[in-house]
Amino acid sequence: MYFNEEFETLPRQALEALQLKRLQAVVERVCANVPFYMESFGKAGVKSADIRSLEDLQRLPFTTKQDMRDSYPYGLFAAPLEEIVRIHASSGTTGKPTVVGYTHKDIDTWSELMARSFAAAGAHRGDIIHNAYGYGLFTGGLGAHYGAERLGASVIPISGGNTKRQIMIMQDFGSTVLTCTPSYSLFMAEEARAEGIDFKKLKLRVGIFGAEPWSEAMRGEIEEKLNLAAIDIYGLSEIMGPGVAIECIEAKKGLHIWEDHFIPEIIDPKTGRRLPQGELGELVITTITKQGIPLIRYRTRDITSISYEPCVCGRTHARISRMSGRSDDMLIIRGVNVFPSQIESILVAIEGVEPHYLLIIDRRDNLDTLEVHVEVDEQLFSDEIKVLQLLAKRIEKEIKDVLGVTCTAKLVEPKTIQRSEGKAQRVIDNRKL
Ligand code: DLL
């Protein structure tokens, strides 16, 4: 059940002592190696020697996604490139991605934490793990892959897409564990049904789902349609990738965050002040063992609460509640992180297209859909229909090429998209999770 019993069940006092030791070491490390932190700590008037207790963490300034963008691509790395063995990236608020680098030791830690996560979800040696998270710059595929191998299970590196083949393989290879986004799992179930395949006859026992928001209602639907226990897994590239936190199969109530590697805090996103246990706020994470790109008080923008209550599973690590939203406007469409501003910059670069647009997101047959409504100028609009069709195709292609998201572009007459006097409403999200 445990992968690393000693660390997963470390008594609170010992865990906190370890956290403090590691926190002091990481603060010293970034002060010595990362100009950004030298400057930001300097501005805040704190030195590494000031961190004498875990409470002192609050004296340190936050790190934001914008800070990562400003130091694109490698500015926040604390290790020289010669020591970086892997690079991943995720969407930034504009066209440039957020880049993260891992040393050998970082990959080793990540594999261990993913293996712990698999074990917490009830997976073990002998399991056949069907890994349908995307392989590539996205951390989902490779993160889960290395963890599954570390656990000693057999991993099928199927990646995303080609759903019919996925189902055939799950059936023929006897997959027992499924890893993918929650929405993709439901899409698979629908496809299987259409093919006349009964998911209940497959050997799947556990599904480990994350990378996008979902709900208790969706868990119920997945468990019923796929006939497995559905477990929530959380992570983000900036901090590591998947496996930062996971539910245990015993309780399925809150996600254990691996506190011997990460220090979580919940803050009020407006004031930046720490909130007490149980209150909803923004999750802030400090990585205390990372080498490639350690982050101090990283503002995840994810909204959750934290609990230090003991858990029936015996793990001593705190639990965060299912993510209940974000404190920024990031959307996750079919597992891809997208900011409206990214679509905007693609649109405004196209001649004849006006900067008035509306993004309509929906979920049909368990798959997210994105419609981009955009105004075109008077002259274009009176042109032949063929010209407009070509333009719509071009917009769809550029959005797909740059962001990796499939959409339908709808060109509309000038001045038909509602104007706003305050904050423009550019997104209508009709998905009901
Ligand atoms: O999505 C890493 C991951 C891969 C997690 C596979 C779980 C499974 P990013 O692409 O950087 O990394 O996106 C991170 O996705 O800040 C959340 O907003 C959202 N997210 C991730 N897991 C969950 C979850 C991966 N379980 C962003 N529930 C995060 C809700 C989630 N949102």
Query: What is the C-alpha separation between 96 and 187, in angstroms, rounded?
Result: 30
Of 327, 350, 380, which residue constitutes the final position of a domain? Answer: 327
Mutate to test the pocket of ligand 1, among 99, 332, 334, 339 (most ligand atoms within 8 A of CB): 332
Phi/psi for 23 (5° steps) reads -65, -45
For residues 21 and 102, membership in a common domain is answered with yes
388: CA distance to ligand 1 center in Å? 37
For residues 114 and 177, membership in a common domain is answered with yes
Q: What is the DSSP string of 236-302?
A: ETTTTEEEEEEE-TTT-SSEEE-TTTEEEEEE-TTT--B--TT--EEEEEEESS-SSS--SSEEEEE
For residues 102 and 74, membership in a common domain is answered with yes
Q: What is the pLDDT of residue 121?
A: 98
Q: What is the pLDDT of residue 355?
A: 80
Mutate to test the pocket of ligand 1, among 64, 218, 236, 237 (most ligand atoms within 8 A of CB): 236
Q: What is the pLDDT of residue 432?
A: 80
Query: What is the C-alpha separation between 344 and 277, in angstroms, rounded?
Result: 38
User: Which atom of ligand 1 is nearest the CA belonging to 209?
Assistant: 8
Q: What is the pLDDT of residue 108?
A: 98
Of 273, 293, 327, which residue constitutes the final position of a domain? Answer: 327
For residues 286 and 367, membership in a common domain is answered with no
For residues 321 and 349, membership in a common domain is answered with no
235: CA distance to ligand 1 center in Å? 5
Query: What is the C-alpha separation between 181 and 210, in angstroms, rounded?
Result: 5
292: CA distance to ligand 1 center in Å? 20
List ligand 1's pocket residues with C-beta within 6 A.
90, 133, 138-140, 210-213, 232-237, 241-242, 300, 302, 323, 326, 332, 337
Q: Which domain holds residue 269?
A: 1-327
Beta bridge pairs of residue 105: none
Tell me which residue has its CA closest to atom 18 in ligand 1: 302
In angstroms, the Cα distances linking 104 to 79, 81, 407 are 11, 12, 38
285: CA distance to ligand 1 center in Å? 14
For residues 102 and 233, membership in a common domain is answered with yes
For residues 120 and 247, membership in a common domain is answered with yes
Of 269, 300, 327, which residue constitutes the final position of a domain? Answer: 327
Q: What is the DSSP string of 396-430?
A: HHHHHHHH----EEEEE-TT-SPP-SSS---EEE-
**pTM > 0.85: yes or no:** yes
pLDDT tens by residue, the chain, 433 residues: 899 999 999 999 999 999 999 999 999 999 999 999 999 999 999 999 999 999 999 999 999 999 999 999 999 999 999 999 999 998 766 667 899 999 999 999 999 999 999 999 999 999 999 999 999 999 999 999 999 999 999 999 999 999 999 999 999 999 999 999 998 999 899 899 999 999 999 999 999 999 998 989 889 999 999 999 999 999 999 999 999 999 999 999 999 999 999 999 999 999 999 999 999 999 999 999 999 999 999 999 999 999 999 999 999 999 999 998 899 989 999 888 998 888 988 998 898 898 889 999 999 988 899 999 999 988 888 878 889 999 999 999 999 998 989 999 999 998 898 877 666 788 999 998 7
User: Which atom of ligand 1 is nearest the CA belonging to 330?
Assistant: 18
Rg of the chain on CA atoms, in Å: 23
Cis peptide upstream of residue 73 (ω within 30 degrees of 0): yes
For residues 239 and 371, membership in a common domain is answered with no
Output the CA angle 371-377-381, nearest 5 degrees: 75
